[in-house]
Amino acid sequence: MENLILMFFLIFGAALVLKTVRGIFKVAGTILIILCVYRFLSLYLM
């Protein structure tokens, strides 16, 4: 019974970490795209 609870917490923790990592990558990707667009526009407008 205790093994089942431990396994549940392990899976829940892994899912939480995966969600957080995905969120970080999403934010990082968005920032990267904004920076690329900004650089391209600044070069294009000059």
Instruction: Give residue 29's Cα distance to chain centre.
Output: 8
What pLDDT score does 46 carry?
Answer: 76
Both structure tokens of 22? 């995905």
Q: Which residue has the higher pLDDT, 34 or 2?
A: 34
The domain limits of the chain are: 1-46
> What is d(CA 30, CA 32) in angstroms, rounded to the nearest whole number?
5
What pLDDT score does 45 carry?
Answer: 84
Whether the per-residue pLDDT at 5 is higher than 80: the answer is yes
Give me the helices (H) in the chain, please. Answer: 2-45
- Give the model confidence (pLDDT) of 12-44 as tens digits: 999 999 999 999 999 999 999 999 999 999 988
